[in-house]
Amino acid sequence: MSLDLFAQIAAIGVVPVIAIDRVQDALPLADALLEGGLGIAEITFRTAAAADVLDILHRERPELIVGAGTVLDLASLNSAKAAGASFCLSPGFDAPIVDAAIAMGMPFAPGIMTPSELSGVVCSGLRFAKFFPAGIAGGPKALEGVAAPFAHLGVSFIPTGGVSPDTMGDWLTLPSVAAVGGTWIARSADIREGRFADITKLARAAVERVKAIREARK
């Protein structure tokens, strides 16, 4: 696993989680994020366009760190790898998929909600996980409790699902949280309707919010 890649994600602090329906929207989306100072995107395998979008962004916008989300099976993992994804995430922990990702050298963050699932992640040799669905799983206090017995192992998390600009600070003040994931930055409807200027504004606001939260912690 590439710890350097996850260090880059941690430095950014927020990952836009994106379901994109049309390939032709890939480059306008990327440019909107980059204009807002947000150099990362998680393209979820919730749409048929995902693999093609990943491929286009990998080739045409190499300055953007592009990962694949909702990687639920080996076919999606292989498609993400072939398309040039820099990292993959899944909503749950599936040992065969994790093993395959490790074998191919793909930085992977499986989803966890319980200590048992996190134990599986750690035993696989990973030190990065997605806490999902973060909101209904109990919020920051729940993650704090789940993560505590594993803190000495250096495990870091990306809480996703129910995170908002208003709650970012609650998550990012936890030492174990490297970054948060959220759908509010680049909503599917905004992409479909060409509201890329709005996406730029939301991206810029998210970057500024991360900076303010981290400055306050110093």
Q: pLDDT digits over 120-129, tens only?
A: 999 999 999 9
Question: What is residue 79's three-state secondary structure?
Answer: helix
Which residue type occupies 87?
A: F
Encode pLDDT of 128-176 as tens digits. 999 999 999 999 999 999 999 999 999 999 999 999 999 999 999 999 9
Q: How far apart are CA 36 and CA 80, in angstroms?
A: 25
Residue with token string 């500024």: 208
**Range 77-98 average pLDDT:** 97
Cα distances from 54 to residues 19, 109, 112, 115, 216, in angstroms, run 12, 18, 25, 32, 35
Specify whether the CB–CB gap between 199 and 190 falls below 8 A: yes
Question: What is residue 205's three-state secondary structure?
Answer: helix
Residue 4 has pLDDT above 90, yes or no: no
Residue 130 annotated among the catalytic residues of the structure = yes
Which residue type occupies 37?
A: G
Answer left, alpha or beta for residue 24, where phi above 0 means left and psi between -120 and 50 means alpha: alpha
- Catalytic pick among 35, 42, 193, 208: 42
Residue 73 has pLDDT above 50, yes or no: yes
Residue 1 has pLDDT above 50, yes or no: no
Residue 81 annotated among the catalytic residues of the structure = no
Helix locations, 48-128, DSSP H: 50-60, 74-83, 95-104, 115-123
Residue 2 has pLDDT above 60, yes or no: no
Does the model's pTM come out above 0.85? yes
pLDDT at residue 3, as a whole number: 55
Measured in whole angstroms, the distance separating CA 63 from the mean position of its chain's CA atoms is: 17
> What fold does the segment set 3-217 form as a domain?
TIM Barrel (3.20.20)
- Catalytic pick among 130, 144, 193, 218: 130
